[in-house]
Structures are given as C-alpha cells and as structure tokens.
Amino acid sequence: MPTSQMGPASPTTPIQQTAPAQSVYPPQKPEAAAPANKIVPEERAADRNLPGAPSTPSQDIQALEQQPIHLFDEQKLEEGRSLLNKVLTASVVKVQEYPVDLPTVLKLVEKQNLFLQDSTINAKVENNRFFRSVSDLLPDVTGTYNQSRFQGAIQIFGSQTLQVFQTRLVPQATASWVINPGGRDVFTALAFKQRAREAKYLLNQTLQEQLTQATIEYYELIAAGVNVANVRANIQEVQSQVALNAARLKAGVGTKLDLERARSQLIEREQELITAENALAKAQQNLLSRLNLDPDVALLPPQVRAEARILIPLNVDTQQLVDRAMEKNPTLKAIQQEIRALGYEGKAVLADAIPTVTLQAYINGTGPEIDKLGLGRFGGFAVQSTLFNGLGTSLPLDYRTRRLLVAQQKVRLKEQERAIQTDVINAFLDSRAGAKSIFTAQELLGVAEEAYRLSFGRYKAGLGINVDVLNAQTALALARVRVVRAIFDFNEAQVRLLKAIGEVTSTTSSMER
C-alpha cells in the first residue's frame, strides 16, 4: 500500500528550528528610586539615549513596557514589533543541529533513556538477589583467632609472691550447615528466580513504553514542522490577497473594507504561525527529554513531510491480534511470574513446619605458642522448629497471606487481559477510521485548493468578491490542518496497536509491513 504524503501547497523556505528563548545577559540590578526631593540631572537622563550608543536588553524591555502599542496606528505597531524582535533576538541561545530520523531516535532511546536505565538496574538487582538466595543453600565456613595475655602474681611461702606472665592463643575453624528438610531455602530461591524473570519482563515493558512514546513524539515533531510550513504557505497566499486589494484600491476599483479584511486575515495567519512555531519548539523539547539530550540541541528530521506508516495490516482479524497480545504482552508475562513467585513463597512457608537441622563442627587449638597448641575437636547437630511460633498461629497466617496475594494477582491478571483486549480492538478500530480519514481529508484538500484557485482567479479578473476569496483561503488552511491531523492520528493508532500487542521494537516501529 503506498504511503500517503502531505506537504505545503507551495514552495517554502526550510524551517529554522531554535531552542526556547533564554537570556544570555546577567540579571540587571534595579536602580534605586530617587528621593522625592532630589532632582535627577538632565545630563544623566540624556546619556541613556545618546546617538549611536548601544542599548542593553533590559533597556529594550523597559522601552517595550513603557511604549503603548496602538492597534490602529501602523507606525506605532511597527515600532512595538521592532522592539520585541530586538529583545527576542538578543536572548536567543545558539543551538547545535542534530539530524535524526525515526530509526536513529529509537536507537537513542535504547541507549540513553533514563527510565530504561532505571529499569535495567532494577533487573540486575533482582538477578543478584536470586544468586544471593542460592548461596544460602551452601555451608558456612568461618575462622576465628583469639589471643590473650595474662599477667599476675602467685603467693608462695607465706608472704612471698611470684610474678606470672602467660600468653594464650586460640585459633579455630568452624563449619556449619543449616538443612531445611522441607525445602524452604529451595522454594525461596525459586521465588527469587521468578522475580528475576519478572524484572526482565518489566524491563521489556518499560522499553516498549519508551519506544512508543518516542515514536509518537517524533510524529508530533514532523506534524508540527508540516504545520509551520503550511501556515507559511497560508501567509504567502493572504499576502497575495493584501497586495491585490491594495492594487485595486489604488486603481479605484477596490474598497478600503476589502483591504482591511485581507489585512485582518493576514494578522490571524501570523498569529497561527506563532502558535505553530511554539508547538514545534515544544515537540522538540519533549523528544529531547525522552532521548536525554541537552535542551539546546535542534533535532532536524531528514524531510519535513507527513506520511502514513502502516505497522499492522488493516485486513487482519482482530481475534488474531488479541491472541498475539495474550501471548507476547510483557505486562501479562510479568504478572504471571509474580503469581509463580508467590506460589513458591507459600510452599516455603509450609516447609517451615518441618524442623530445621543445623550441623556444626569445629577444630581449634589452645596454647602459648603456635607450635605448642593443644588440638580440640567438636561435632554435633541441633534441631529447631518454628511450628509453634505465636502459639501456632504464625505459620497458618503467613500461608493464608500468600494465598490471598496469589488470588489478588490472578484478579489483576484478568483485569490486565481485559484492558489489553480493549486496547487492541480500540487501536485497530482507530487505525481503520484513521485510514479512511486520510483519504477523506485529502479529497477535501483537493476541493479546497481548487476552490481557492477559482475564487482568487475570479476576484483578480473582477468577477468575484473578496469575501469568497477569504472564505476559500480559510477553508484551504483548515483542510491542510485536517490532512496533517488525520495522518498523525493514523500513525499514533498504529503505534498504540503495536504496543498493545507487545511487539514494539526499534525495528518494528520504523518499518512498514
């Protein structure tokens, strides 16, 4: 199926993309107000506006605030615009251009996204906890070394004493092994293993969520760029109307009202350009945040053109898509692993009912010096039971808690299955409706372009009226917006459908099928 493309109706200049305006000057300290009884010398007041002396941005802003803009005074309006442009130009930060396409964006998400990095670390932590639980199955070997020195006196033969100095060395090596005949440590290790797998599925879920959002934000960036180009095309068309009305008025065949109506529409289009450029800047910042890039980077797509991308064919049975989602969706997989982990924890609780056997043996030596140690050995075992902890109520309550948690997770699994089924069907329906909307919007665009061409030609030949031209241009501007919106809605629905199924990767999100 060929891709649907939409661009500006007339050639336009490349879109200049800049970062949000930020002041490059240090904040100016407000001047202290002069006392009421003190007169400011006229020389200082005049020095602030010396001929040829450069003004600072703060002075420009003050002048802009103090100078009222008269809406019906063209000279004052141009002066106000000039001051505003001067302030904005002085505070624009230079940006670094970074060409990107959709595959590049998705690769950057995999490498630099902060949410993905956090989820990756969490998966490593859970995997490490599993290996730590396995180590509890192994015997413990410890070694100790004690050294003491005795100094004292012994009384002999009445009042006579004898000084005594004695050193005592006691090295010891101990081996102990706690055996749970019921398999508590084994079940605990299996529970940690299931949670390690759950963390991997959650990592995959986070990856798919971030890739989905990055893809949608890239489409928003493209749509915003096309809207800017379209608004500029609208401005060029309205400027032609203004020029034509001015020429007709000068020739004595036009009216002042027609000229003012065209100028009013030109002002509206200029306001739309401000809104479109602001939307473009915001779309860039959203995508930069997703990619963990500096905010002063300008993302430049290879081409500013809206096109529909088919990720999931529209002739597929929805039940097949739902079955694929039930099999591959990482959210369902993570819940299933949590249910298994809780099941193993319940078995570990039941295993505590069987007494624990602790085997211990050690060998030590005692003596004044290393080569004069007297060896000692010990071996034994101990049996311990926690069956009667809390008068025998602790173990049943712990087991009941695990069973309730399992039941809760099963309910959550059902809820998630129902939500995924709904998401798949809704996204598929939105995709089909979006495809139809694209063709309808393109047909309306063709009609609007022809209507504008005819109305402008008739008015230029003196056979039509100005209101018809203005209405036709407004309809053309709306038709252009509808085409861009229809293409964006279709692409977004396709990405949401891919996400609901659980097949979002850097390859599937940027490759048509």
Compute the CA torsion angle 107, 108, 114, 120 (nearest 10 deg).
Answer: 30
Joined together, the tokens standing for residue 249 give 């008025």
The alpha carbon of 212 is separated from its chain's Cα centroid by a whole number of angstroms, namely: 10
Strand 356-366 and strand 160-179: the pairing is: antiparallel
CB 342 within 8 A of CB 402: yes
Joined together, the tokens standing for residue 52 give 């040829």
DSSP code for 9: S
Joined together, the tokens standing for residue 323 give 């079955």
CB 222 within 8 A of CB 301: yes
CB 459 within 8 A of CB 468: yes
The number of CA neighbours under 13 Å toward the Cβ of 499 is 22
Helix or strand or coil: residue 495? Answer: helix
pLDDT, mean of residues 321-326 = 93
Angle at 112 between CA 106 and CA 113, to 5 degrees: 75
- The Cα–Cα gap between 309 and 332 comes to 28
- Residue 107 confidence (pLDDT): 93
Residue 26 buriedness (CB in 10 A; 0-12 / 13-18 / 19+): exposed
pLDDT digit string (tens) for 460-507?
A: 888 888 889 889 999 999 999 999 999 999 999 999 999 999 999 888
Banded model confidence at residue 120, pLDDT cuts 50, 70, 90? very high
CATH of domain 148-179+354-386: 2.20.200
| DSSP secondary structure, 286-338, as one string | HHHHHHT--TTEEEE-S---EE---SS-TTS-HHHHHHHHHHH-HHHHHHHHH
- Residue 81 confidence (pLDDT): 55
Residue spans of the domains in the chain: they are 148-179+354-386
Q: What is the 3-state composition of the chain as percent helix, strand, coil, each rounded to the nearest 5? A: 60, 15, 25
Among candidates 224, 230, 262, which has minimal Cα distance to 244?
262
Joined together, the tokens standing for residue 438 give 């694209």
| pLDDT of 327 higher than 80 | yes
- The Cα–Cα gap between 268 and 274 comes to 10
- Residue 369 confidence (pLDDT): 79
- Residue 487 confidence (pLDDT): 93
Joined together, the tokens standing for residue 111 give 């490498």
DSSP code for 92: P
Q: Which residues face 272 on adjacent strands?
A: none
The number of CA neighbours under 13 Å toward the Cβ of 116 is 20
- The Cα–Cα gap between 82 and 66 comes to 14
- Residue 106 confidence (pLDDT): 92
| pLDDT of 69 higher than 80 | no
pLDDT digit string (tens) for 191-200?
A: 999 999 999 9
Banded model confidence at residue 68, pLDDT cuts 50, 70, 90? very low
CB 450 within 8 A of CB 348: no
Q: Give Cβ neighbours of residue 154 (< 8 Å, ≥ 6 apart).
A: 161, 162, 164
Buried b (16+ CB within 10 A) or exposed e, 255-265: eeebbebbbeb
Among candidates 294, 297, 279, which has minimal Cα distance to 217?
279
Residue 496: in which H helix or E strand, if any? helix 466-501
- Residue 320 confidence (pLDDT): 93
Joined together, the tokens standing for residue 212 give 């989905």
| pLDDT of 406 higher than 50 | yes
Higher pLDDT, 253 or 438: 438
Higher pLDDT, 291 or 159: 291
pLDDT digit string (tens) for 2-41?
A: 444 444 433 333 333 333 333 332 333 344 433 333 333 3
